[in-house]
Amino acid sequence: MFIPFKDLALVGCSVMLCAAALTAQAEEHQMKHKQMASAEMMAEVVTTAGVVKGVLADTNQLKVQHQRIPEWDMRQMQMKFNLAPGMQAADFKEGQAIRFRLKQQNMMKFTITDVIEQ
């Protein structure tokens, strides 16, 4: 049986495209699995320290330049944090050094649950 070269080339290209698509799909699945495993492995509450960089009274949040959080593999950075019920942003001031407990509610939502006296 004779198969023209151009037909073989088309079949070869189709096979390569299918293989590339399957590889991309497998890599995407692997990345999602790693993200889910990472979120599940994260400690629910950690203790860290930082400096208040902004008081957002209208949303009851603080902007804090926090230290590295090794339990979450999180580098030192500035973030906005919600305050737990009963805590008021007005009780803090810019430049204030705080040591606090932090709870992760979902992937990118964090709440300061309490401040530890230094």
d(CA 11, CA 14): 5
Instruction: Please name which of 101, 98, 99, 97 lies closest in space to residue 112, comparing C-alpha atoms.
Output: 101
pLDDT 10s digits, 65-117 = 999 999 999 999 999 999 999 999 999 999 999 999 999 987 789 999 999 97
d(CA 47, CA 83): 15
Least confident interval from 16-20, 42-46, 59-63: 16-20
pLDDT 10s digits, 23-46 = 656 566 566 555 554 455 556 899
pTM of the model: 0.64
d(CA 55, CA 113): 16
Q: Is 9 exposed, middle or buried (0-12, 13-18, 19+ CB in 10 A)?
A: exposed
- What is the number of helices (H) and of strands (E) in the chain? 1, 5
Instruction: Please name which of 65, 28, 37 lies closest in space to residue 49, comparing C-alpha atoms.
Output: 65
Instruction: Please name which of 89, 95, 78 lies closest in space to residue 112, comparing C-alpha atoms.
Output: 89
The answer on pLDDT for 13 being more than 70 is no
